[in-house]
Every structure is written in C-alpha cells, then in structure tokens.
Amino acid sequence: MIDKIGREIEYLRLSITDRCNLRCQYCMSERNMNFLPREELLTFEEIKRVVKIFSKIGIKKIRLTGGEPLVRRNFFDILENISSVEGIEEINLTTNGLLLGENFESLLKNKVKKINISLDTLNPVLYNEITRGGSLDKVLKNIFKAIELGIERVKINIVLIKGKNDNEIMDFVKFSETYPIDIRFIELMPIGEGKNFTSISNDEVIKIIQKERELFPVNEKIGSGPAKYFKSGFSKGNIGFIAPLSHNFCDKCNRIRLTPDGFLKLCLHWNKGIDLKNIIRNGITDEELENIIFNSIYSKPEHHSMDEDIEENIDKRKMNQIGG
C-alpha cells in the first residue's frame, strides 16, 4: 500500500517476544527487567490473522525479531503459520545467533533464506562483556554453519559504540573479505539503554575504512532495508552502512513494526500507533480490522526526531520491548 506521502509500505518487522537469552548493554538493563506475561503476547493464531490482513493490504516481506525470537516456545508454530499465508513472499530472521545451531533444519523448511545476526565485536572477552555472558565461539560456529548450509544471505549487524568497539572496524571489514558475509555498521540510536552510550557516525566509519581500503558502491538492490552497500577490492561479502541519524532515510521508509503485545508501530522512534491486540480480543471483524490497519499505516509519520531534543510522543520503551 501507499502511505500519505507516497511511500510503498511492504515490509513488516514482527517482534514475537520481548525476552532474550542475552542482556546487551545498549539494549536491556542488567537487572530488574519486567517481561510481558505470556497472556499479553499475541498468540500464534492472532499473529496469523493479522499477517493475513497485512498481506491483503500489501505487506510482502516479514522479518521475525525480538527480543530473541528463537526463545519463544512456539516459534515454529508461528513460523509455519506465517509461511502458509498467501502473498507473503519472503520471511527473514534477526537473531543473536546463539540458538541457530539446533534450529537450522526447521528454518530452512519454512522458507527462511536470509538471517541477520547481531554481533558487535570479534573479541571474545568484549563480547562477553557487552552481552553480559554470551559465547562468541558459539555464534561464530553458527555463522559458519549458515554459510555451509547455503543460507541465501547472512548479514552481521554491528552497532558501534565510541570507546568500546570502534577499534574493530577494520577487523569486521577483513571478516567480510574472508567470508561471503555482509557486514552492516549501524549507528547507535538514542532509544532505551542506548541513551547511555556515545555513537559513532557512519561518515567517521567510512573515513577509517578508506584509510586502508578503496570502497566501491554496490548498485544492485540488496534486501528490503535502508543500508547502502559497498565492496572493497578484496570483498567476498558486502560492507553496508545504516545511518538513521547522520543520513536520515525516512522518506524511503517502507516498514512498519508489530510489537510482541500487538502494538502496531508506524515509526521506531514515535509512540504513535494502534493497539491491535485489544481490538482483536474485543471481537472485531476482519473487514473492520483491515480498515483500521490500512488507515493507521496511511498516516505513518513522515520522519523520526532522534536528532532533535523532543520528549513528547517519543517511545520510552527499551529496544527489546519495541522489537529491534
């Protein structure tokens, strides 16, 4: 469908849980996390129902996120239901990678061909620190297994934090030169715990890389997101940059988000949207639900305001609660 300023909205980021098996410093608090009770999550039947309606109004691509989506007990019931919906052309997964090993067979069976893995450092000690307990070795083994099994595209999402992992930029570039993996440098967004850290702009990252490598633009369309891709002369994979702060891409935004408790978010930054769960559980018809969703998406905000000092209408939740 087309929203009020002419953007084609075809991509849904569907968060199915706010829980995670890690506690990354810029995402979640170390202690006293309050997770949603199970009854507050959309059921897999409710998820299938809304996905059918999203498909009818033009959503073609879905990315399953969390929290960590693979910790949800009925993850594969959800995946199977979604994969059977007519009109959904692509289902992808964003994960921290720790639980992939035991789940590859089911993922491949249900049309998951592209996997994004959040990995902010190649240093095992720092990885353990940032994630508060994660095993880098296990994640790397699963990355290599994904390549071996022929996953169509494996991407690594790197959030750079000034003074913490910004000295590893070239390590990741060399990683993409060694393996057929896309790396994506993502500017840290001032959302939730992210406000406690200092980001580094992608312009700075590019300058650091260009001291050692010439970068060549990749003109082909890769994925559904806003990343701009390059290659070095040695690349097996691509080098991507996602810059929501330094290079606002809101005018091309093609996505909406559904939180684990069924809140339709029209912009990552704003708290505006529709509580679909309560509407569904109050007995609305599919036709009425479709009209509500259509009108809500049509009025999607024109842009975020993460670069402005604005508090009104800003979503105060942590990233795991919103859906990364």
pLDDT given for residue 266 in this prediction: 86
Domain extent for 267: 11-322
Residue 287 placed within a domain = yes
Question: Does 253 carry a binding-site annotation?
Answer: yes
The rounded mean pLDDT for the chain is 90
Residue 2 placed within a domain = no
Residue 143 placed within a domain = yes
E runs forming strands in 96-251: 112-118, 153-160, 182-187, 216-217, 228-231, 239-242
Question: Does 15 carry a binding-site annotation?
Answer: no
Strand 90-95 with 61-65, pairing: parallel
Residue 4 placed within a domain = no
Residue 233 placed within a domain = yes
Structure confidence by residue, pLDDT tens digits, 288-297: 999 999 999 9
Structure confidence by residue, pLDDT tens digits, 225-267: 778 999 999 999 999 998 766 555 677 788 899 999 999 998 8
The answer to whether the beta carbons of residues 304 and 243 sit under 8 Å apart is: no
Residue 63 placed within a domain = yes
Question: Does 319 carry a binding-site annotation?
Answer: no
Question: Does 229 carry a binding-site annotation?
Answer: no
Question: Does 236 carry a binding-site annotation?
Answer: no
Residue 246 placed within a domain = yes
Residue 1 placed within a domain = no
| Distance from C-alpha of 2 to C-alpha of 4, rounded to nearest angstrom | 7
Question: Does 178 carry a binding-site annotation?
Answer: no
- Mean pLDDT over residues 209-217, rounded? 97
Provide the domain count of the chain: 1
- Mean pLDDT over residues 168-186, rounded? 97
pLDDT given for residue 193 in this prediction: 81
| Distance from C-alpha of 114 to C-alpha of 126, rounded to nearest angstrom | 27
pTM above 0.85, yes or no: yes
